[in-house]
Amino acid sequence: MPPLDCSDAPFGLIPREPTARPAGQQSAGGNFADRDRVLHRHVIPAYMEEVRMGIPIAAERRLLSEDELGPVARSHYPELESLSRDQLIELARWLRSRRARARDIVHHRRRVSRGKAEPRNPAADTPSERGLAAKKQVFSHSLRRVNARLNRLLAEEKHAGQRARLPAADHAI
């Protein structure tokens, strides 16, 4: 086994090889060596490698246009709780379409920068996709909030229906 290069490791965190396990033996969460990065006396789970941070509302205002800001603002807490199921479904569709549009444009711009596609406007320089990728993230976060609220509403409706059937089942016995 080659020696580990520790020159770029932070002080006190020295990388080491994962502990070997007998063939077929796994930890409770799966294969330890594949999932986790092991540092000296510290195990960083794979799900913590990429921490999803929220986007501040001020950044949303800076990234979005006026017509995009209204629906995204409705996806935040106080207004989100007051929306009906139909309004939530309509908002989710709108957010999904905007996210897909931003994703497609970013994908095309990256292909142009790699030389695999022709620019849509050959006369102009291809702009960076960085701002558009951030806008896509705003739509993704908004859609995640709306989907979570929609799932809570559906669960409440399901439980209400089950509670309504429960007394009828007691009388039938």
By DSSP bridging, strand 37-39 and strand 42-44 are antiparallel
Is the pTM higher than 0.85? The answer reads no
Whose tokens are 């309504």? That residue is: 164
pLDDT digits (tens, 9 = 90+) for 24-42: 555 554 444 444 454 444 5
Which pair of structure tokens corresponds to residue 99?
């996210």
Token pair listed for 106: 């970013």
pLDDT tens by residue, 67-91 = 999 999 999 999 999 999 999 999 9
| Residue 95 · residue 166 · CB < 8 Å | no
pLDDT at 50: 53
Computed over every residue of the chain, the mean pLDDT equals 79
What is the pLDDT at residue 41?
Answer: 47
Bridge partners for 37 per DSSP: 44
What pLDDT band is residue 121 in, cutting at 50, 70 and 90? confident
Question: Residue 11: what residue type?
Answer: F
CA 112 distance to own-chain centroid:
26
Which stretches does DSSP call E strand in 28-142? 37-39, 42-44
